[in-house]
């Protein structure tokens, strides 16, 4: 199916941005191209080949030294990038998303043995939710997306989606503000997620949550963490998780299940997409070999038997579509109930554009339906 017209328009501006970035990287590495360098004066002896080579090397080194001297520290660059990402997120919600309804929300801090404590926010279905009057309700422990290095529960689109899902599905959404890479690499987010899951079960009664109807869910990188938490729980604690809700998840950081046909269909050069995907794993993983750890790549687990049922949502124009489909197939082969839905004409982050893309509204409705199954 053709790309949704909204995303087709956005893709044209994205391509111009990618071209500018690639050109700037090339200049920073090679210095000025030969045809932009000053010409030699007449009557001056021509330089030998060796002299030209030395001059070119010196020019490149001077350019690199000048760039390094003026470049901010990596931590400063990350801070700027995250501020820009958060500002972009606010604008996208205002222009193309749906604001979240007013619901009651509580903040908690969960201690994590051996790792940084993690903040969680519990969204209840209504502003005046009364635990004593309404009784315990289902809950979903939710992990945000952002390539492991940006995002958070305070991002506008993430907060709005959590509010809508809590209100529409009448479940508590327990959003986990896990630590970001590269400051906090694997397995920190997974261990924070495991600790948050234990805390949720331990505190279920006080929170007004039915511990027999708890799910885990996540988007993109958050889907990776949610699947890893379900796997760790199976092997360590055996808490009764009812559902895995995985949206455009990355489940194999070795890259074996990336579907580059989706990138080609968008006209994105394979080297650009490959570089981006490689940078994600390098940012998150301490070592390349960690990509084979099942808690980093859940699809590589020796066995997927005994995991909770899974509802997996993917997008047609997303290189991660192959990962979601492969994970659903692997779960079914292991005897786990799993469904996989692919949204035609949609891109990786398409679900946030509910005000302008009808398929995004259908996507959200299907997520709510999956969450409502916890009431059964």
Q: So which residues are the catalytic ones?
A: 220, 318, 348
Alpha helices in the chain (DSSP H): 5-30, 49-70, 74-96, 131-134, 156-169, 188-202, 204-207, 221-236, 260-265, 270-284, 321-333, 358-372
Rg (CA), the chain: 24
Which is it for strands 241-247 and 209-219: parallel, antiparallel or unpaired? parallel
Q: Do the beta carbons of residue 313 and residue 367 sit within 8 Å? A: yes
**Would you give the distance in Å from CA 106 to the centre of its chain?**
24
DSSP assignment string, 318-366? -TTHHHHHHHHHHHHHTT--EEEEEEEEEETTGGG-TTT-HHHHHHHHH
Count the neighbouring beta carbons within 10 Å of the beta carbon of residue 28: 15
Q: Cα dist. 176→145, 208, 268, 277, 286 in Å?
A: 11, 18, 33, 24, 22
How far apart are the C-alpha atoms of 244 and 218, rounded to whole Å?
A: 8
In the chain, what is the greatest distance between 2 CA atoms, to the nearest angstrom? 96
How far apart are the C-alpha atoms of 189 and 187, rounded to whole Å?
A: 6
Phi-psi region of 357 (alpha: psi -120 to 50; beta: other; left: phi over 0): beta
For the chain, what's the residue count?
376
How far apart are the C-alpha atoms of 108 and 317, rounded to whole Å?
A: 37
């Amino acid at each position: 199916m053709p790309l949704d017209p909204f995303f087709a328009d956005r893709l044209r501006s994205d391509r111009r941005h990618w071209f500018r970035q690639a050109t700037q990287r090339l200049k920073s590495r090679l210095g000025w191209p030969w045809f932009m360098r000053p010409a030699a004066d007449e009557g001056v002896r021509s330089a030998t080949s060796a002299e030209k080579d030395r001059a070119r090397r010196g020019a490149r080194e001077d350019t690199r030294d000048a760039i390094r001297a003026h470049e901010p520290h990596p931590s400063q660059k990350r801070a700027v990038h995250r501020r820009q990402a958060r500002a972009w997120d606010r604008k996208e919600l205002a222009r193309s998303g749906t604001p979240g309804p007013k619901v009651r929300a509580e903040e908690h801090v969960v201690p994590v043995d051996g790792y940084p404590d993690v903040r969680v926010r519990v969204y209840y279905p209504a502003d005046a939710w009364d635990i004593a009057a309404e009784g315990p309700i289902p809950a979903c422990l939710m992990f945000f997306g952002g390539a492991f290095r940006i995002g958070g529960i305070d991002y506008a689109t993430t907060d709005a989606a959590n509010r809508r899902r809590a209100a529409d599905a009448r479940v508590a959404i327990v959003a986990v503000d896990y630590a970001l890479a590269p400051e906090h690499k694997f397995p920190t987010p997974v261990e924070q997620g495991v600790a948050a899951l234990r805390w949720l079960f331990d505190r279920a009664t006080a929170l007004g949550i039915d511990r027999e109807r708890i799910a885990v869910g996540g988007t993109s990188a958050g889907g990776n963490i949610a699947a890893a938490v379900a796997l760790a729980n199976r092997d360590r604690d055996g808490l009764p998780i009812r559902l895995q809700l995985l949206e455009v998840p990355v489940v194999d950081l070795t890259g074996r299940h990336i579907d580059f046909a989706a990138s080609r269909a968008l006209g994105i050069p394979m080297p650009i997409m490959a570089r981006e995907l490689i940078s994600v794993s390098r940012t998150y993983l301490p070592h390349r070999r960690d990509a084979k750890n099942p808690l980093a790549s859940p699809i590589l687990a020796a066995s997927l038997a005994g995991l909770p049922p899974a509802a997996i949502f993917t997008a047609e124009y997303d290189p991660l579509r192959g990962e979601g489909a492969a994970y659903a197939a692997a779960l079914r082969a292991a005897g786990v109930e799993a469904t996989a839905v692919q949204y035609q004409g949609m891109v990786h982050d398409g679900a946030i554009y509910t005000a302008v893309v009808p398929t995004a509204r259908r996507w959200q409705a299907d997520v709510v339906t999956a969450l409502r199954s916890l009431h059964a």
